[in-house]
Amino acid sequence: MKTYFIISLIFYIYYLIFKSKKSLHILQQNWYNDGNRYLNWIFANPKKIFLTYDLLFIIFLLFRGLPLILIFSIFYCIVYFLYKRDVSKEQSKKPLVITARIKRLYVTELIIYLLMILPMIVCFQEEKLFINYTLLGLFMCLNPFVIYVANLINKPIEKMIFNHFKSMAKNKLNEMSDLKKIAITGSYGKTTTKNVLNEILSVKYNSFATEKSFNTMNGLMISINNKLDKFTDIFIAEMGAFRRGEIQEKCDFIFPQYGILTTIGTAHLESFGSRKNIQEAKFELINSLPDTGIAVLNLDDEYQKNYKIKSKCKKVWVSLKDKKADVYASNIKLSSNGTKFTCTFKDTKDTCDMETKLLGYENIYNILESIAVAYNLGLTIEQIKMGVKRIKPVEHRLELKKINNINIIDDAYNSNPVGAKMAVDVLSMMDGKKIIVTPGMIELGDKQYEYNMEFGREIAKVCDEVILIGEEQTKPILDGLKKEKFNEKKIYILNDVKLAFPLMRKLSDKSTYVLLENDLPDIFNE
């Protein structure tokens, strides 16, 4: 009987491996429960967690009088194949990345399950078969919580590994005493500004910027340990944050001499709690700069202009509206092909006509701030002009590309009120049918409804067709569209962005522009 019991566990273990992959995917997309994001997601999405094939285990419990080993084996065999079939049909926007950390979590989780299963095998008693199977079924239903426990158990190990790689990165930076370090933070525009600055500085220097959207401590450490080399003149570090103290921690690690603060907005308002907290968090970069350092700031941002800076570093202000700024833009011309403007340097009165393929009014701020740093690092105006002209569109940030006969404006990585409005403004400049695909904006705290409704009103003024992703989360956008009396026959509501692509092909004509505004992780699919 014991042998048959062991055999009955085969499909249970197969299913466990597959189901755990899903739970680990959710954990990874929720930053390994940083700030209790994973737990909060579980309690906010009980249907996704508990309304699964596991719930059918209740049926198994009804067959107590029948051969339990056979019923248990058949049950998990069926559930395994059903689950495997469903997974094969899924197309994750961002699949689970099998990192060393995920492998360690897998091992820890399997040990937890083994600690439950081994006593059942070693001390096997036929009369306890029903209790054993009930426990196994319960643990399978609670798999997301077992993953949570595994993550807790692994925390000390992960901390040790983190400190090891942090020490490696720190030593590498200390050995490069002549390295100039620039840090960039802000609510919006960090990644674009980083790429723009790197492009301009590379005209004269061997500059290196953190990759993609790597703006966490782990991202900085990976960039430094794997990519930074002795030939690098300038290191550009993007710094993100979800609470106060995070940027300060990164500054204490890198010790930047130059700092750029893009915009202080409402991104991640939910985790920060207030606009004041966001302001204080972002200024941790500027306040940490040495007296010999240089801070580049936005004079058109009231939250920067009115802040009392603690650092005695040099302040360089940029503006599109105020000619008192140290570097300002005028004669701005926006088009579907790019942007042109005149850049003026206040101290020398020098002017230069700039031209870029980047789209959108707000991107001029990103370019101006990059110009200000480059100018203070000794680039000539001609070198700066050359750098600005060769700036490439940043992937998934107002990136214009073509798929068959449809022109796509890919703004999938933007999820804030400023960026969303700019994207709609860019769409308005296009000559052709205009469609938007969006799930709206998230993590805006108690302002989320207000900002999304306003977004809906902006969309109504520009778009011919609207495809909303997620019936619940896009209700504010729908309300905004209705306020502007947008034709409801031109509104389509889907629960998965993958379904939007065949629909937009159906809606397109000879000249169609589709704005993909924000692409939420799979955990936000309804």
In sequence order, the β-bridge partners of residue 261 are 185
Q: Is 340 helix (H, G, I), strand (E, B) or coil?
A: strand
**498 plus 409 within the same structural domain:** yes
Task: Please check whether residue 61 lies inside any domain of the structure.
Answer: yes
**63 plus 190 within the same structural domain:** no
- Residue 284 pLDDT greater than 90, yes or no: yes
**342 plus 423 within the same structural domain:** no
**99 plus 186 within the same structural domain:** no
Task: Please check whether residue 171 lies inside any domain of the structure.
Answer: no
The pLDDT of residue 61 is 73
**39 plus 70 within the same structural domain:** yes
* Band of residue 47 on the pLDDT scale cut at 50, 70, 90: confident
The pLDDT of residue 394 is 81
How many CB atoms neighbour CB 321 within 10 A? 11
The pLDDT of residue 520 is 66
The pLDDT of residue 92 is 64
Average pLDDT, the chain: 91
Task: Please check whether residue 164 lies inside any domain of the structure.
Answer: no
CA distances from 59 to 52, 75, 134, 425 (A): 13, 9, 12, 55
Boundary residue ending a domain (327, 360, 389)? 389
The contacts of residue 163 (CB under 8 Å, 6+ apart) are none
**Could you report the per-residue pLDDT of 391-417, keeping only the tens digit for each?**
988 888 888 888 877 899 999 876 788
Task: Please check whether residue 169 lies inside any domain of the structure.
Answer: no
CA atoms within 13 A on the CB side of 258: 22
The contacts of residue 209 (CB under 8 Å, 6+ apart) are 194, 195, 197, 198, 235, 236, 237, 238
- What value does the mean pLDDT take over residues 243-263? 96
Per DSSP bridges, beta strands 294-298 and 314-319 are parallel
**403 plus 510 within the same structural domain:** yes
* Band of residue 93 on the pLDDT scale cut at 50, 70, 90: low
- Residue 50 pLDDT greater than 60, yes or no: yes
Boundary residue ending a domain (342, 362, 389)? 389
Give the C-alpha separation, 33 to 92, whole Å. 20
What are the contacts of 285-288 at 24+ separation with CB within 8 A?
Answer: 285/183, 285/185, 285/239, 285/247, 285/251, 285/256, 285/259, 285/261, 286/259, 286/261, 286/311, 286/313, 287/311, 288/248, 288/251, 288/252, 288/256, 288/259
The pLDDT of residue 279 is 94
CA distances from 493 to 18, 152, 264, 443, 521 (A): 31, 39, 32, 21, 18
Task: Please check whether residue 165 lies inside any domain of the structure.
Answer: no
**Could you report the per-residue pLDDT of 453-488, keeping only the tens digit for each?**
999 999 999 999 999 999 998 999 999 999 999 999
- 3-state helix/strand/coil string of 236-277: EEECCCCCCCHHHHHHHHHCCCEEEECCCCCCCHHHHCCHHH
> Which segment of 67-71, 357-361, 512-516 scores lowest on mean pLDDT?
67-71
**384 plus 404 within the same structural domain:** no
The pLDDT of residue 44 is 85
Specify the length of the chain in residues. 526
Where residue 433 sits, what CATH number does that domain have? 3.90.190.20
Name which residue leads in pLDDT, 427 or 521: 427
- What value does the mean pLDDT take over residues 315-335? 96
Give the C-alpha separation, 7 to 256, whole Å. 60
CA atoms within 13 A on the CB side of 277: 15
* Band of residue 246 on the pLDDT scale cut at 50, 70, 90: very high
- Residue 67 pLDDT greater than 60, yes or no: yes
Where residue 346 sits, what CATH number does that domain have? 3.40.1190.10
**Could you report the per-residue pLDDT of 298-314, keeping only the tens digit for each?**
999 999 999 999 999 99
Domains: count for the chain: 3
- What value does the mean pLDDT take over residues 17-35? 91
Give the C-alpha separation, 258 to 273, whole Å. 28
Structure tokens, 505: 């092909």
**414 plus 491 within the same structural domain:** yes
The pLDDT of residue 265 is 81
**306 plus 247 within the same structural domain:** yes
**427 plus 344 within the same structural domain:** no
Amino acid at 17: I
Task: Please check whether residue 163 lies inside any domain of the structure.
Answer: no
The pLDDT of residue 478 is 97
Task: Please check whether residue 342 lies inside any domain of the structure.
Answer: yes
Question: What is the dihedral sign for C-alpha 272, 275, 277, 280?
Answer: positive
The pLDDT of residue 133 is 92
Task: Please check whether residue 162 lies inside any domain of the structure.
Answer: no
Boundary residue ending a domain (103, 128, 156)? 156
**243 plus 385 within the same structural domain:** yes
State what percent of residues in the chain have pLDDT above 90.
71
Domain housing 287: 176-389
Give the C-alpha separation, 167 to 153, whole Å. 23
- Residue 526 pLDDT greater than 60, yes or no: no
* Band of residue 524 on the pLDDT scale cut at 50, 70, 90: low
Give the C-alpha separation, 139 to 118, whole Å. 14
**427 plus 453 within the same structural domain:** yes
